[in-house]
Structure 1
């Protein structure tokens, strides 16, 4: 590898099924949330039993598991956090992802044998912050998303080699500084820093109507000369105006494009980043498989031969666009984001494929067993997405329900199906269909 640092590919998992898909499609580590004290309360998340099974399964396949305990805790949370950390001590994940200093201290007291990683939510923007956490016993610090690659490279040079650096390389970007957002609280009373974000940054906002111009002019007089003010209203809140100041730093209330660094693996490696983190603990198995497979191949290709990596660039671009996304940006890595990194006309994802189901094995007749996720029919031509990078096309020749009754189509989500295909998928291969 010519001395190049081999990074960890860290993949999100919303549930046990997605964890197993992440393992199959190339994750070195997965990060998951329990049912409490994480920042994705709306995700499926893991019960204690599923977490135990997920950790066991991942470890059997040489994959690490990191568990999020990254809420900003209130005093009333502490007793529950202590009990939760005692449970995690028994389950023995590889690391805990923590933002709150109090939670960090409790984890060190209750389960010191589990590595502690400092969440991006802790606003880690300089070398002294990294050293502060290192002296307290942190094994890894996740960079704030506002850092450039140049800044990360400088931090790498100023901190000990055994302090690992983790950075997001793909997925949704938060409009607030390192995820510290109050917008959800303002509109709905649901706290983004305690796992209940309603994602108001993705809502549709309207400019103020002309008849209110006089009222808004009075508000605008309060701005400084170097600032500009606009007024917005969320579409379901007419007459409730949001003054938005814009200065040389821009505005931070609109819908960001998604981060994608698949074309910049050499720069990530040169910066000395130890773990490449994919955002998406609320994303589907198809998304996880697509992103994990593409980054796995890109990283491995580059470490084998930079020329090989460059020669496959069109394939990486094509594959990464097969999952849901909101157009792509490189975030803060090369420059401060501008209007070119925002999407003003829509908050919807681009979706090129739909997932039909995940192959679970085959029955006595050699039919593929799966639980259906989206409708498909006999005669459809579908793709079998495989961890090796291939997507062979097959024909749906026959569909049977769990009792062996023939069906022309499969319209019911989560129904057990036995499907005869022009080929036999392996367990965890994903059956998908291009969206019309």
Structure 2
């Protein structure tokens, strides 16, 4: 559940590329979320939201005390501008709190047709000085999303020259771009996919070699060192240990990158930043940022040259999400309860957690649970049960040694409980005994070190 921001703290702004990411951002403590519909957003690969979903998105977020910012920051054509009057009016009617804009024409239309929408200036405008910020404020902008190329000292100086009415928002975590504030044409030319309208193919991450025109097929490595050269591939940003410095510099909102990333990334990163913002030691939460897919970390341009990704690891993570918690029921030490079936209760594990399987896990494995209001806890999978859906063919389960049918599922009419050794049916329900209580949308994960992954989970 989100915590309400006070005037003496920074807003935690989290990405919501789809419904699940939205739910996890809120569950793990975001003060605000930023997202897009299927139009005018810079992350077309994200799930995004249909326009008719946006009122429900806003209703859900506001019910949890969370603001909704919608990105309208692609480069606009005249045809786009013609449609924006309808689009901004729709966002205004849906109750959206702010729009993130990078085009002057879009800004003018928003002021004209959507007076209730706060206007935030996109990082792609590269606003880096107070005079520029004041000019945009005179046009109706209430917040500047700072260029990621600014140093901490430059931000502090910009803040000193501005009135408090102009808010400053800064990126603190996630992927960075080799182009200035994200404005790049490499993808257009290399892959035919327009980066500035949300279709970047990330060719800056590719490994390049030199070819001489009279020697086709012969590739000569471009070597910066013995690992090759990745001169366009940036590291990921991680400012968890420097939140107080950002606050002291006058930043009002800290922003986590990642609208194209999955629910586990959103949950684990938001969770770490929330705990540190709420006063916990950053050192105690740095390891949490190693659990989800990332490139090597740096502190961006805040303290100088951010360095570059040398290409040895494109993505790495130490853990994998295995299940989403659907609910948790107390069995009151086995005296009664829905799961007092065939010896499935034990005083040492008075709770049974019901989960939605995302990746395989086994009876006897040690899992970690992440919850918004607790430190990371470990549990061992005991008395694992598959909640077979109504109509599931179970005739071969016992014959093939895949499980043991226990009986009807009291949580699902015509469902069946089956004791199993492995949870391996993705997006199906499993439950097992635990010694502590968990809550809906908590996450269960397993340590699987040394993984290189091509998709952020």
- The normalised TM-score by structure 2 is 0.80
Aligned counterparts of 2:230 and 2:196: Cα–Cα separation in 1: 17
Aligned counterparts of 2:305 and 2:147: Cα–Cα separation in 1: 13
Matches within 5 A, 1:292-311: 292-301=270-279
Structure-2 residue corresponding to 1:202: 205
Q: Deviations over 1:86-120 (max 9, x none)?
A: 22122111110111111111111111111010010
**Matched pairs, number:** 392
- Indicate which of 275, 280, 287 corresponds to 1:318: 287
Task: State the SS of the aligned residue for 1:359.
Answer: strand
Choose between structure 1 and 2: higher helix proportion: 1
Determine if contact 1:34/1:46 at 8 Å carries over to the other structure. Answer: yes
Determine if contact 2:208/2:222 at 8 Å carries over to the other structure. Answer: no
Query: Structure 1 pair 368/422, CA: closer, same or farther in 2 (3 Å)?
Result: closer
Structure-1 residue corresponding to 2:395: none
Is the counterpart of residue 109 in structure 1 residue 112 in structure 2? yes
* Structure 1 runs not aligned, ≥5 long: 217-236, 245-250, 302-308
Deviation at 1:4, TM superposition (A): 8.5
Comparing 270-279 with 105-114, greater Cα deviation is found at 105-114
Is the counterpart of residue 282 in structure 1 residue 260 in structure 2? yes
* Structure 2 runs not aligned, ≥5 long: 1-5, 224-228, 330-337, 340-350, 390-414, 450-457
Determine if contact 2:73/2:102 at 8 Å carries over to the other structure. Answer: yes
Structure-2 residue corresponding to 1:78: 81
Structure-2 residue corresponding to 1:430: 443
Matches within 5 A, 1:152-171: 152-171=155-174
Matches within 5 A, 1:328-407: 328-337=297-306, 341-346=307-312, 348-362=314-328, 364-365=338-339, 367-396=352-381, 397-400=383-386, 401-402=388-389, 403-406=415-418, 407=420
Is the counterpart of residue 266 in structure 1 residue 240 in structure 2? no
Determine if contact 1:29/1:63 at 8 Å carries over to the other structure. Answer: yes
Q: Please say which structure displays the higher CA radius of gyration.
A: 2
Query: Structure 1 pair 83/404, CA: closer, same or farther in 2 (3 Å)?
Result: farther
Comparing 36-45 with 253-262, greater Cα deviation is found at 253-262
- Indicate which of 126, 131, 136 corresponds to 1:128: 131
Task: State the SS of the aligned residue for 1:39.
Answer: coil
Q: Deviations over 1:377-434 (max 9, x none)?
A: 2332211111124222222221313332424323333x23131232442011101111
- The normalised TM-score by structure 1 is 0.83
Aligned counterparts of 2:163 and 2:218: Cα–Cα separation in 1: 54
Structure-1 residue corresponding to 2:142: 139
Structure-1 residue corresponding to 2:424: 411
Task: State the SS of the aligned residue for 2:171.
Answer: strand
CA RMSD of aligned residues (A): 2.7
